[in-house]
A and B are shown apart, each in its own frame.
Chain A
Amino acid sequence: MGASSTTPKVPPPDATITRSIHLKLRAHLNQIADQTKTSKGLNHDVAELLMTGGDIGLMEAEDEMEKTWKVDQDQIVRSVGIDAAAQRREWKLDGGPYRSRYTRNGRHLAIAGKHGHVAAFDWRVGTLHMELQLRETLRDITFLQDQSHIAVAQRRHVFIYDQSGVELHRLSSHVDVNRLEYLPYHWLLVSIGNAGYLKYTDTSTGTLVTEQRTKLGACNTIAQNIHNAVIYLGHQNGTVTLRTPNLPTPAVTLLAHLGPVTSISVDPSSGSGGRYMATGGADGKVKVWDCRNWKGCVREWVPRSQGGVGIELEWSQKGILGVSSGGGVNCTPPTIRNEHSGQPPVYMTHAIPHRPLTSLRFCPFTDVLTIAGEPNFDSSEADPFENSKARREREVRALLDKIQPDLIALTDNFVGKLAPQKSALPEEVMTEGVPMYSRLSRVDRLKASRKADEDAEVEGGVEVEVEVEVEGKAPLTSAGGEKKEKLKQRGKGKSLKRYLRKKRKNVIDPSIIAIRAKIAAQKQSRKEATTDRAPSALDRFSKSR
């Protein structure tokens, strides 16, 4: 059986049934359209008021000769205000290579050194929440819903500590974990380790939601797409897999690099909707991918300062991609997403020689604040200035709003949408190759009974019905493109008339041909008249030469 026969055939429409005018439906749709329009207008107004999405406040070069990447940190600190300048910090610690993580509001920072040092602190004010010497290998650290809980991937298990450093849980099911990730809206802690098992734990209930065997060996790279909570894993064989808890197999597998993938970051900026992914590989390359069409990498380059350990990269909320490789960090401006060519321009650079960089995190909001402008944070989402009461209330609210893991899927906004129709119906419901009416989907049923609004386009919600009535020509229907005989009132469409009309249609009338030819000639002459005009000096500016 061919592919064509698998698609359900719709029985031929019954000609006697005329299309009813869905007045009620039209009113309803109009109402929806109105509503949408108003809401959009209001949203737009608010966006305009807050000036989001426009100028994101980057450092700008005054002229051609000045380069933003030439400005070093000292210069910046000198030129910005005290408050912003105070945000430049340097801690020299001995606990081995560290990994760090910010809370979602960017207020708190947690660090875990390889040799067992864990600390969490409010880095703005400088208050230390906890400091532990665990005396075993630490591999990763992450905050849970807020600064009150911290998960640390230790030598054998994952442990959860509270703000004051008290060990709350030992997640014994997470064994030999390399990387941790936390999905804030689903309250899920995700871990992957040397065994290659991806594990989702619901931190509100403590249950293990799913456990997936990647079959790709030890994994050192994990990232989440904040927009749809899909987990991106980078593997040793150069593939990047996209995973949801619903599917045991990856939703997408991408051969990104030759050799292991060392770092992944998904663009968290609200405008992109998680469309872009950046990967760094052990082959020394950085690639930016368009995750919408997977057509290939939109950019690929080799970072300037090579050497040392693998490339680490992260995308900031404002779209700046920070790439650390060896002894320095390069930041690329957000435009790298838009322009597709090779080596990206450098926005800022900072060299940290003789200090191999192992972790790179952008603090939410402040990656812009440091330079200029104001962050427009949504305090209901993540508030850097929240107090303890607000924190408590937000926690409760977030628990109430917790999203089920079933809702994690690659395509966002699928909830409530129409499920894709079955491509083939079982043969039992077919009668002579045509499916039974009752087994058809509603769309097909409507089509069969000519009740579907096929030719009615929804333009801004308002249906526009175009019915062209030409004498001797029935209006066209979109279905099949065949001319539909309009069912007229009694006495209007006599069979004799119809017969005559049909007969007339095929008559080749010399006069009509002559007229057509004449019109064509006129058109042609008009065209020529426009092309033959004298060349003007302005022609050089015209685009289409």
Chain B
Amino acid sequence: MLKPPNKSAGVPLSALLDGDSGESANNDNGASDADSQSDEGPSDMEEDDEDVLSPSDNEDIDVEGDALKKLGSFIDDLSLRKRKASDVTDLLPARAIKRRVIPERTEAAIEGEFAAPSGMHAGKLTLEELLKPSSASGNNISSVSLAKSAQLLSSANNQPLSPPLHQRQQDRVDREAAYEATTEEVQKWAPTMKRIKEAEHLSFPLRAPPVLNTSASELASKFKPSTELESAVDKLLKVSNLEEEDIEQTEQLQMSNLTIEEVAARRAELRQMWELTFRAEAKAKRISKIKSKTFRKIQKKGREKNALTLDQIRVLDPEAADTERLKLEAARAKERATLRHKNTGMWTKLMNARVRARRGLRRKIQGLNDSDDAPEHFVKSDEENDVAGLAARAFDELAGLNGTGQQVAPIRKTKSGLLEMKFMRDAEERGYRVADSMADDFRAALLGMMGDSAYIVGSEGNGPSALEAVQANQGRLIFRPTTDQSQNAGPSRVTPVHLTKSNESDTSRVTLKSSVESITVSPRSDLRHAPQPRQRIRPIENPWLADPTASAKLSREKNEILVSKKSSLASKSKAAFKKQLARTEDVLTREADDAVVEISLDQAMPIDHAKQNKPKQKSKQEGKDKTKVVDPVVDPAFRDSDDEGDDAEGEDIKAFEQRDLVALAFAGDNVEFTARKEREMEADAPTTVDMTVPGWGSWGGRGTKKSQPKPHLIPGVAPAARADAGKARVIISERKDKKASHYMVKDLPHPYTTKAQFESSLEMLIGPEWNTRMGFQRSTLLKVVKRANLTLETESQLPVSRRQIHIGLHHAFSCLDVDYGWLDDSGSSRHGGYQVKEARRKHREKQSAKVVKAAGRMQRTGMNPESLPRSRPSQVEYHRKLEVLNAEIRHFSGGLNVARIPLEVVNVNPDCTADTSLVLIPYSADSSQSTRMYYVGFLVQYRVSMARRKAVVDRHIDRDVDMAWMPSERADSPSSAWLFFKTMNVSGAGTVPAASSAFIGQGGSACLFQPYINLMTLDDDSRLSILVASSVMCIPAPLAISKLHFPEKEDHITRGNAMVERGVQSKRFSSGSALVTVYHLDCQSLAKS
């Protein structure tokens, strides 16, 4: 016999099913065993009988006399025998059947559902085979799933199945998976959200209904005359057959008068016209695209050929002909002026080339270089003596300088980059001008030394120079420019006049005596180079000393003729020189000294302050001044005093001292001003103060180090950094305007990273005074604008009656299309909603009234229906239903503490674009079962950003039950307010009552939001939420739902900060309440208001 199968769990199933022969044998054996047993049964029994008898026999024999035992066995025997007798009678026929069956034992096995297959199956038994009959027999689901699981089992590579995860771990995995799924779902909205986030302005509803632009015809068709006038006009139109239909009719009539042929002809004509126009257009289009120049040339020629001649035009339109002629003339003049066609003829070109070649040849013959043929600028005069010769050489040098300057000039032109820019060129130009003027001055000085040639000072800015004017019309005097002009006209140019013999004519020149003013030229460079001491500037004339008659006198002098026409050239020049010298020496000195007292502000100052270092500065300054560019615009008095102190220093110092004294006498203001400025500069300058106190902070004795004195720096404005640095006559205060600085920004505000960015944001003023209406409105447009009264017809009156609240609530929920009953744990909806509850309340009231009536003692008003005993069947029912509800919520949340149940947001608001997941957060605030609360929040994608949403959800995943926002086991209103604020983005006014509504009664929450009523705008949607929150629901769910429905878009004034006035604390609520702070709220007062 084979060993019996081991049925321990460790043996794999396949192994169990393996061993075909063994198994079958086993089975066979089993069967045979059974058979043999069943066969042998009676025989055994018989044997048993014998056995039974035999032991007793044996006992009889073996056992040495135990009467009691014998007796017992005897009794046993008796009973056995009795049973055997009955058994024998029962089994007698069975034995007969067994005998008949014996030959069938050769068959393999009994076929059946539960019998193991054998014989016909050569291979080993598989699970599939085992399952086959069941799948064949019933095609039900269970068998399929069984097959599936079996498949899983069979493919498990003979590994033992891993034990299931721990429940919590499993939950976490599930949640993570669910989170991923939701994220993916939400991502569908990402582009939309991005667009909305980046939008400069949002106007809700985003998909606004199209604005209907009613056309005039539409209006006209609807028009019905209503007023008297209108009807009168209408009647008039009707009478005169001028209405639309009438006009159409008349047209039709006209058409109907025509014959068919005529109509056809007309149509054909029209068609032809259309065709022609179309073709012409097409052709023009094609031609306009042609780029060939030849084509254009031919075209142009053709046009010109066809064009009318001037005479033809004149015949047609004389005026047009005139203009045409003018045009032609102008074109011709331009052509001539520009020399465009000069030397373009073939002959001319040839001749020019020849001339050039010849010239080149000649030059080669003469052995000249190209560079040598520069034209001579000046003709040397032979008559001049040594001094004159020297001067002439100097002139030549100057000319040479000029020449180089001219050579430089063309290079200047082609400079590129920075040097090409206008200001650089201007500066360069200025430099040249200064250099020129210096050269001129020098030339003038030379001339002055020579003395035999006259020169005239003219102003550059005055158009034709004075000399030219003289030459143009002799005999007429020049009126020199006034002092002011000559002072301000910039560097003047001295035009030298070379008197040569060739210039001899009887019309000799008339020169003018140069008086003080005429020679007085503003740039100091003149004076520096000119040795004539009298030619000096009068920067500021003394108004008090100015002689009213002086001007008349001067004018007389101006016209004095020094040299007559008749005198010879030499004598003229001689006389001029002599006179000039004489005047220069004596008369002018005296006159000028007396008449012109220089109150030079610039003189006064150095005398006062910088007397000692004056000589030192002088030499230094002179070198500087040569290169200094004089700015003509700036008032000469405004230049730094140090620069100017030396200009006026001339030969006779005495006279100067005199003038200085006079100037000083009159320039008290100035001295005082300078002193004041210095005082101010000193006061503002940064200073260091040695704060060390002897003996403090230092130790004495050997080996000690002496610490360095620590200077204390008091910041200030350095004189060079002042706004008025270098401006002698201005003091600009460097004081900080403390009061004004309150209106300035201390540091760069957040989003900006540079000052320029920040200032660009302030560049445009936004007030209506500086902008157009449209600009102002655009710049002050709110980011989000919601059309008022989007869905709800809100009324401005508050507090609203309870009925209205309920209607609003009902409206909100009906729009949501969500069965909100299960969201509520107050039982109200379970009890049939508000109406039922109200009805019940009324019923209670009635009953209590009855009781009162019956009792006859209590007054109706003093009765509180709520204080009636609670052990009523309805209360029992309520608790029972609450339990059902809790179970239901648990079911919804999938047995989890936190679950996301996607709500189908249909019909909500067209703006509510995102998918919405509802977060159910059951939280036991109290240990007692009855006060279990369910916080229902929600997360709407477009309100809560992805990041925040993720954070919230992550936090919940991490801490399974204990919410981060619930710091203690008690849910206090501040923390839940935080949650609402964060997740729903509600205003503070909405948050406070909503969050505390779970803890405070209905009236209480109404009281909480009462202070915020006047803060709400008319279209403030938070109102609804607040109303909802303070309504029968007594739970923040309504808030959530309402926010879902009417997401808050405007920034509320109480966002993030809502102050609740703390009322009188009631003892009744002070202990054991869920609220940390309980507000004693006078519901009665609210009801009254």
Chain A CB within 10 A, most for which of B730, B774, B778: B730
Contact B742 A406 (CB under 8 A): yes
User: A419, A443, A538: which contacts B338 (Cβ < 8 A)?
Assistant: A538
Known: A28-B751, A246-B738. A35 touches B731 (CB 8 A): no
A32 CB–B CB distance under 8 Å: yes
Say yes or no: B484 contacts A343, CB within 8 Å.
yes
When distances are taken between beta carbons in the complex, the residues of chain A under 8 Å from B778 are 35, 38-39
B731 adjacent to A253 (CB under 8 Å): yes
Indicate with 1 or 0, residue by residue over A399-424, a CB within 8 angstroms of chain B CB atoms: 00000001111000011111100111
Task: Check A3/B745 contact, CB under 8 A, given A39-B779, A249-B733, A544-B412.
Answer: no
Q: Is the CB of B732 within 8 A of A251?
A: yes
**A205 contacts chain B at the CB level, 8 A cutoff:** no
Taking the complex as formed, is A514 at the interface, i.e. its CB lies under 8 A from any CB of chain B?
no
Do the beta carbons of A32 and B760 come within 8 Å of each other?
Answer: yes
| Interface residue A285 (Cβ < 8 Å from any Cβ of B) | yes
Stretch from A53-61, A134-142, A292-300 that touches the partner: A292-300
Q: When chains A and B are docked, how far (Å) is the Cα of A14 from the Cα of B410? A: 52
Interface status of A25 (Cβ within 8 A of chain B): yes
| Closest residue on chain A to residue B487 by CB atoms | A342
Q: Does A6 count as interface, using CB distance less than 8 angstroms?
A: yes
Can you list 17 A-B contacts (CB < 8 A)?
A6-B713, A39-B771, A39-B775, A246-B739, A252-B731, A255-B730, A296-B638, A300-B635, A342-B485, A406-B739, A414-B743, A416-B745, A418-B759, A419-B741, A419-B744, A423-B715, A531-B414
User: How far is B718's CA from A505's CA once the two chains are assembled, in angstroms?
Assistant: 43
B739 and A258 form a contact (CB under 8 A): no
Contact B635 A297 (CB under 8 A): yes
Residue positions of A touching B, CB distance < 8 A: 1, 3, 6, 22, 24-25, 27-29, 31-33, 35-36, 38-40, 42-43, 45-46, 237-239, 244, 246-247, 249-256, 258-259, 283-285, 294-298, 300-301, 340-343, 380, 406-409, 414-419, 422-424, 427, 441-443, 446, 451-454, 456, 458, 461, 527, 530-531, 536-538, 542, 544-545
In the complex, B115 has a CB within 8 A of chain A: no
CB of B540 within 8 Å of the partner chain: yes
- Give chain A nearest CB distance to B1065 CB in angstroms: 43
Count residues on chain B whose CB falls below 8 Å from chain A CBs.
Answer: 82
On chain A, the residues within 8 Å of B676 by CB distance are 253
A294 vs B739: C-alpha distance in the bound complex, in angstroms? 25
A441–B669 Cα distance when bound, in Å, is: 44
Minimum C-beta distance from B613 to chain A (A)? 24
Known: A1-B688, A39-B778, A544-B412. A419 touches B745 (CB 8 A): yes
What distance in Å separates the Cβ of A464 from its nearest Cβ neighbour in chain B? Answer: 13
- Assembled-state Cα–Cα distance A409/B484 (Å): 36
Within 8 A of A (CB), among B624-681: 633-635, 637-638, 666-667, 669-670, 672-673, 676
- Determine whether the beta carbon of A25 is less than 8 Å from that of B744: no
Contact of B764 among A35, A408, A442, A456 (CB under 8 A): A35
Q: Would A458 and B760 be within 8 Å (CB), given that A3-B686, A380-B769, A442-B748 are in contact?
A: yes
Compute how far the CA of A446 lies from the CA of B752 in the bound complex, rounded to whole angstroms.
10
Interface residues of B in 415-453 (CB under 8 A from A): 425
- Given A6-B713, A42-B774, A343-B484, A254-B730 contact (CB < 8 Å): yes
**Nearest Cβ distance between residue B674 and chain A, in whole angstroms?**
9
* Residues A46 and B772 in contact, CB atoms below 8 Å apart: yes
Give per-residue flags for B724-752: 1 if the beta carbon is below 8 A from chain A beta carbons, else 0: 10010111110101111111111110011
Q: Is B240 an interface residue (CB 8 A)?
A: no
Q: In the bound complex, do residue A406 and residue B755 qualify as a contact, i.e. CB atoms below 8 Å apart?
A: no
**Is B1060 engaged at the interface, CB distance under 8 Å to the other chain?**
no
Out of A31, A427, A443, name the residue touching B755 (CB < 8 Å).
A443
Neighbour of B713 across the interface among A1, A244, A254, CB < 8 A = A1
CB pair A285 B543 closer than 8 Å: yes
Residues of B within 8 A of A340 (CB): 488, 633
Contacts of A341 on B, CB cut-off 8 Å? 485, 488-489
Judge whether B543 and A258 touch: CB under 8 Å.
yes
Is B740 touching A452 in the complex (CB atoms < 8 A)? no
A25 touches B543 (CB 8 A): no
Chain A residues, Cβ within 8 Å of B729: 254-256, 296
Distance between Cα atoms of A45 and B409 in the complex (Å):
46
- Residues in chain A near residue B746, CB distance under 8 A: 419
Extra inter-chain contacts (15) besides given A3-B718, A22-B753, CB under 8 Å: A6-B686, A43-B771, A45-B772, A239-B669, A246-B738, A256-B729, A294-B724, A295-B638, A406-B739, A417-B745, A418-B745, A418-B759, A442-B747, A531-B411, A531-B414
| Chain A residues near B339 (CB-CB < 8 A) | 536-538
Contacts of B758 in A (CB 8 A): 418
Contact with A along B464-487 (1 / 0, CB 8 A): 000000000000000000101101
Contact B744 A418 (CB under 8 A): yes
Q: Are A259 and B543 in contact (CB under 8 A)?
A: yes
B9 within 8 A of A: no
- Complex Cα–Cα for A29 and B759 (A): 11
**Any chain A CB within 8 A of the CB of B89?**
no
A337–B670 Cα distance when bound, in Å, is 27
**Within the assembled complex, what's the spacing in Å between the Cα atoms of A536 and B338?**
9
Chain B residues contacting A538 (CB-CB under 8 Å) are: 338-339
Residues of A close to B741: CB separation below 8 A: 419
Pick from A45, A46, A252: contact of B733, CB under 8 Å? A252
CB distance from B1001 to the nearest CB of A (A): 45
B727 and A295 contact, CB distance less than 8 A: yes
From residue B752, how far is it (CB to closest CB) to chain A in Å?
A: 7
- CA A408 to CA B757, docked complex, whole Å: 26
- Shortest C-beta distance, B566 to chain A (Å), equals 37
Asked if B599 is at the interface of the complex by the 8 Å CB criterion, the answer is yes
> From B741, which residue of chain A is reached at the shortest CB distance?
A419
Q: B425, B540, B635 — which one has the most chain A CB atoms within 10 A of its CB?
A: B635
CB of B413 within 8 A of chain A? Answer: yes
Choice from B200, B540, B599, B754 contacting A454 with Cβ under 8 Å = B754
Distance to closest chain A CB from B964 (angstroms) = 28
Q: Using CB atoms, name the residue of chain B closest to A544.
A: B413
The reply to whether A418 and B748 form a contact with Cβ atoms under 8 Å apart is yes
User: Does B737 contact A246, Cβ atoms closer than 8 Å?
Assistant: yes
Instruction: Decide: B759 and A42 in contact? CB cutoff 8 A.
Output: no
Taking the nearest CB of chain B, how far is it from the CB of A394, in angstroms? 13
Q: Out of A43, A254, A416, name the residue touching B775 (CB < 8 Å).
A: A43
Q: Is there a chain A Cβ closer than 8 Å to B756's Cβ?
A: yes
Contact of A255 with B751 in the complex, beta carbons under 8 Å? no
Chain A to chain B: the 9 pairs with minimum beta-carbon distance, closest first: A342-B484, A296-B638, A296-B635, A39-B775, A283-B543, A419-B744, A253-B731, A406-B739, A255-B729
Chain B positions 97 through 120: 1 when the CB is less than 8 Å from some CB of chain A, otherwise 0:
000000000000000000000000
Cα(A461)–Cα(B752), bound, Å: 12
Bound Cα distance A40, B732 (Å):
34
Pair A458/B673 contact, Cβ less than 8 Å? no
Asked if residues B760 and A451 are in contact (CB atoms below 8 Å), the reply is no
A38 to B758, CA, bound (A): 19
**Closest CB of chain B to A523's CB: distance in Å?**
9
Q: Say if the beta carbon of B711 comes within 8 Å of chain A.
A: yes
Are B753 and A446 in contact, CB atoms less than 8 angstroms apart? Answer: yes
* Inter-chain contact B713/A458, CB cutoff 8 Å: no
Contacts of A3 in B (CB 8 A): 686, 718, 721
**Residue of A340, A443, A527 most packed against chain B (CB within 10 A):** A443
**Contact of B411 with A415 in the complex, beta carbons under 8 Å:** no
Residues of A within 8 A of B370 (CB): none
Minimum CB distance partner of A250 in chain B? B733
Query: Looking at the complex, which one of B686, B711, B751, B779 makes contact with A25 (CB distance below 8 Å)?
Result: B751
Q: A33-B760, A258-B666 are in contact. Are A416 and B754 (CB under 8 A)?
A: no
In the complex, B1061 has a CB within 8 A of chain A: no
> Within 8 Å CB of A22, what residues of B?
751, 753
When the two chains form their complex, are residues A301 and B484 in contact, meaning their CB atoms are under 8 A apart?
Answer: yes
Instruction: Tell me how far the C-beta of B737 lies from the nearest C-beta in chain A, rounded to whole angstroms.
Output: 5
A300 to B754, CA, bound (A): 43
Chain A CB within 8 A of B762 CB:
yes
Chain A residue with Cβ nearest B731: A253
Flag whether B319 is at the interface (Cβ < 8 A): no
